[in-house]
Amino acid sequence: MILSLDPELMQVLLLSLEVSGLAICIAVVLGIPSGVFLGLRRFPGRNLLITLVNTGMGLPPVVVGLVVFLFLARSGPLGNLNLLYTPSAMIIAQIIIALPIVMGVTMAGIQNLDEKLRLQILALGASKLQYFWKLIEEGRLIVLSALAAGFGSIISEVGAVMMVGGNIKGQTRVLTTAIVLETRQGNYSLAIALGIILFLIALLLNLVFTYLQQRRSS
């Protein structure tokens, strides 16, 4: 089925990559700057915010799915947007799952950068924006780690996307939800094919990350 590019399998794969890819892009755009800010700045309420980020990193995805479902349901505050059981709802849920992971990994990495590096950048007369950007550039492995951790957490997630997406064939069915459905229906060949693809995506992601990490350290 994989070698023949089975249409149903390819449709599920492409939707999975589209949903998770867009979600991680948004999470990175929001989470990297926020993580750098939390790692460097001291302000009232910072410890509380860090606690919320750390809690979000371990928050069960099914809870995220429930919250998003309640907000997007017809009786919810955003029900008039008609987003429930659409790819948009799945993207929202995955952003909420990935964002604290990206923020937390980035924050921890920035805090572990050499203090002398920070002082050197400031001594060269860098502006605040240049200071932040240079730290991200120097800690690009941190950014890669945050991206890999965030993407891995959402591409393999099943509970939240099933709750808000509905697992509708041809519309909101992604790799993880399709595996669950096909296994329940006894379509083991398709379930195995989907599982192999999901494994290969994770393997490819980690191969790229390992290559970049080792090249940087060598």
Across 80-104, average pLDDT = 95
> Mean pLDDT over residues 70-96, rounded?
94
Of all residues in the chain, the percent with pLDDT exceeding 70 is 96
Taking CA atoms, 59 is separated from 43, 98, 142, 174, in Å, by 25, 10, 22, 22
Residues 6+ apart with CB under 8 A from 49: 38
Length of the chain counted residue by residue: 218
Domains of the chain: 15-174 (1.10.3720.10)
d(CA 125, CA 121): 7
What pTM does this model have? 0.89
pLDDT given for residue 3 in this prediction: 63
Question: Could you tell me the CA-to-CA distances from 206 to 95, 113, 194, 203, 213 in Å, in that order?
Answer: 21, 23, 19, 5, 10
119-177 pLDDT, tens per residue?
777 777 777 777 777 777 777 778 888 888 899 899 989 989 999 999 998 899 999 99
What per-residue confidence (pLDDT) applies to 193? Answer: 85
19 touches 87 (CB < 8 A): yes
Alpha-carbon gap, residue 48 to 31, rounded angstroms: 17
Question: Over 80: is that where the pLDDT of 186 sits?
Answer: yes
